[in-house]
Every structure is written in C-alpha cells, then in structure tokens.
C-alpha cells in the first residue's frame, strides 16, 4: 500500500518473515563470531551476518523504525573501539618481548575449548564487533539517503528537537 | 569523454586477454586441478589425522605441523588470519574503517547540500 507522502506500507508477509528471521540472524551471527577459533567462520563473516539484521528491520518496517530502533552513534563509536581493541591485543605480543600479533596466553584449556587460543580468540571477537558495528552503520547511512520517506523521518526529528 | 571510453575499452581488453592466456596456459600445462582425487575426502573430514602432512614444506610447514603447539586454535584458518598474517588483517580491517569514515563524510555533506538546495 502506498501513501501520498511516498512511504510504502510493507505487506504482512514481509513483516512476519522478518520477525521470524531477526532473532536467528542475530544469534547465529554472534555464534559465528564467538566460535571463530574452533569452527568455520570468524569475525568478518559473523559481523556481516549480524549487520544484515539491520537490513531485515528496514525491509519490514521502513527506514524510520530502523533508525529509531538502532542507535547509530553507538555504532559509530563502537567501530573505532573495535579497531583500537584489535591493535591492543596485537600489542600484547610486544609486552612479552616478542613481535606484533604474536599469540600469547594460549596455554589455558585444551584444544577445541572456546577460549583456548589466547589472543587469536580476542582479536577475532574485536574484529567481529568492529565489522558488525561498522557495516550496520554504513547500511543505515546509505539507506538514509536512498530510502523513500527518509527525508520525512529527518524532518520529524527536527520538529521534535524544536 | 571519448578518450576515457577508449582507455577503458583497451584496459578491459588487456585484462580479458590476460585471463584467457592464464586459463589456456594452466590447461595446457596440466596443473589446473586443485584436488587430484588421490585422497578420500570423506575420510579426511571424519578423521583429520588421515591426511598425510609429513611432506609439508616451505611456508606450509609451520602452519600445518606446528599450528596446534603454537596457537592451540582448532580452526587453522583463524590461526592463519589472526596470528600468522595478523598484520595483514590489521590493514584489512582498517580498509573497512577508512572506507566507512569516507562514506560518512561524503554522504553527510551531500545530505546537507540537498537540504540547502530545497530551501
């Protein structure tokens, strides 16, 4: 259904499908990030899967709802924080007198445990956090320019501020 | 405009010729197969020790033989990405950071201009 101001009402099938798939997208993406060192996957792949949840939210409920549900400022800061964390975990090798990105604290737990691989695990988590915040922020930024009804949403925000 | 199109056409033709040459060369030399069918793939999945790694040499030698002792990461790919070539991954993730920062700067400027034009 299309209204006069250009905002399209999404069909109920898309809404129900997105409602069903959203938890799975988020949970499975986080699983891929967390188990990056013991099973196929890793930070980049899982991060993009979690960021796809923002696209699902946009497809079902439009740009206005997606923008109000997700705090883009947190995403913008979180990406820089993830990149900084990666460098800090990489520098851990320097503090024990070895080279950058040297794997340290890896001798706790058996092979196959969740946290058995030392800094590889934590670097994977920081890359995952960085990718999910960064790609989510990029998706929302581009949808804000391209989506129909995005300007109306911005106007509404300005009215609220006044 | 026309010169640009000619340059683009020439570069595409050069890339295409290089690709065709690579395919023909790989096929005629007989080294185009990545899996030679020599090992039982199902048995390798069921029991990774079935694969003979004793002949790994060169760059593959520390990755295949010493991975579990050095990193204790069961996923060998994660060990390669974050340890053996960790510096490369740093650059890879900073490409993403830089591109998103650039997109943020350009898109927010164009958004402001659009509003000013409307006013």
Distance CA B105, CA B119 (A): 22
What confidence score (pLDDT) does residue A160 get? 44
Interface test with B, best of A44, A45, A117 (most B CBs within 10 A): A117
Inter-chain residue contact B93 with A138, CB threshold 8 Å? no
What confidence score (pLDDT) does residue B99 get? 92
Hey, is the C-beta of A104 within 8 angstroms of any chain B C-beta?
A: no
What confidence score (pLDDT) does residue A104 get? 80
Determine how many CB atoms are found less than 10 A away from the CB of residue A69: 11
Q: Are residues A40 and B79 in contact, defined by beta-carbon separation less than 8 angstroms?
A: no
ipTM of the complex: 0.75
pLDDT tens digits, residue range B47-102?
Answer: 767 666 677 666 777 777 777 777 777 888 888 888 888 888 889 889 999 999 99
Distance CA B89, CA B9 (A): 34
DSSP state of A11: P
Distance CA A88, CA A105 (A): 14
Average pLDDT over residues A32-58: 89
Hey, is the C-beta of A40 within 8 angstroms of any chain B C-beta?
A: yes
**Domain boundaries along the sequence of chain A:** 12-105+117-161
Inter-chain residue contact B73 with A116, CB threshold 8 Å? yes
- Minimum-distance CB partner of A103 among B71, B93, B104: B71
Q: At A116, phi and psi to the nearest 5?
A: -115, -15
Q: Which of A127, A125, A109, A129 lies closest to A117, judged by CA?
A: A109
Contacts of B68 in chain A (CB under 8 A): 111
Q: Which of B92, B83, B80 lies closest to A131, judged by CA?
A: B92
What confidence score (pLDDT) does residue A97 get? 78
pTM metric for this prediction: 0.72
pLDDT tens digits, residue range B18-43?
Answer: 999 988 887 787 666 555 556 666 77
Instruction: Determine the straight-line distance between the first and last CA of chain A, rounded to whole angstroms.
Output: 31
Q: Are residues B83 and A103 in contact, defined by beta-carbon separation less than 8 angstroms?
A: yes
Inter-chain residue contact B72 with A86, CB threshold 8 Å? no
How far is residue B73 CA from its own chain's centroid? 21
The pLDDT of residue B114 is above 90: no
pLDDT tens digits, residue range A72-85?
Answer: 889 889 999 999 99
- Minimum-distance CB partner of A134 among B70, B82, B100: B100
Distance CA A50, CA B23 (A): 38
Inter-chain residue contact B82 with A101, CB threshold 8 Å? yes
Residue B48 tokens read as: 């990774």
- Minimum-distance CB partner of A123 among B77, B82, B103: B82
Inter-chain residue contact A120 with B83, CB threshold 8 Å? yes
What confidence score (pLDDT) does residue A32 get? 92
Contacts of A123 in chain B (CB under 8 A): 82, 86, 89
Inter-chain residue contact B71 with A117, CB threshold 8 Å? yes
More confident residue, B16 or A145: B16
Q: Are residues B67 and B79 in contact, defined by beta-carbon separation less than 8 angstroms?
A: yes
Burial of A112 from C-beta contacts in 10 A (0-12 / 13-18 / 19+): middle
Q: Are residues A140 and A129 in contact, defined by beta-carbon separation less than 8 angstroms?
A: no
Q: Which of A85, A121, A94, A100 lies closest to B72, judged by CA?
A: A121
What confidence score (pLDDT) does residue B14 get? 96
Inter-chain residue contact B90 with A101, CB threshold 8 Å? yes
């Amino acid at each position: 259904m299309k209204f006069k101001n250009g905002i399209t009402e999404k069909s109920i099938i898309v809404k129900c499908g997105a409602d069903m798939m959203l938890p799975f997208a988020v949970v499975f993406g986080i699983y891929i990030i967390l188990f990056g060192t013991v099973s196929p996957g890793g930070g980049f792949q899982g991060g993009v899967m979690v960021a796809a949840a923002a696209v699902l939210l946009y497809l079902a409920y439009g740009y206005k709802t997606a923008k109000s549900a997700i705090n883009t400022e947190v995403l913008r800061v979180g990406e820089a924080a993830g990149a900084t964390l990666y460098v800090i975990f990489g520098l851990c090798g320097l503090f024990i007198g070895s080279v950058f990105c040297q794997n340290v604290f890896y001798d706790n737990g058996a092979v196959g445990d969740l946290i058995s691989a030392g800094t590889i695990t934590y670097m994977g988590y920081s890359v995952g956090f960085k990718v999910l915040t960064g790609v989510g922020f990029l998706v929302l930024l581009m949808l804000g320019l391209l989506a129909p009804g995005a300007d109306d949403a911005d106007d509404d925000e300005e009215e609220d501020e006044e | 405009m026309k010169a640009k199109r000619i340059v683009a056409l020439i570069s595409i033709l050069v890339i295409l010729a290089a690709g065709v040459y690579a395919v023909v060369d790989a096929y005629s030399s007989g080294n185009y197969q990545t899996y030679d069918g020599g090992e039982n793939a199902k048995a390798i999945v069921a029991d990774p020790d079935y694969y003979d790694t004793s002949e790994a040499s060169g760059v593959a030698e520390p990755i295949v033989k010493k991975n579990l002792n050095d990193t204790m990461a069961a996923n060998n790919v994660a060990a390669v990405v974050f340890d053996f070539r960790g510096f490369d991954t740093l650059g890879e993730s900073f490409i993403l950071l830089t591109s998103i920062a650039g997109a943020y700067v350009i898109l927010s400027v164009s958004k402001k201009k659009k509003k000013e034009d409307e006013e």
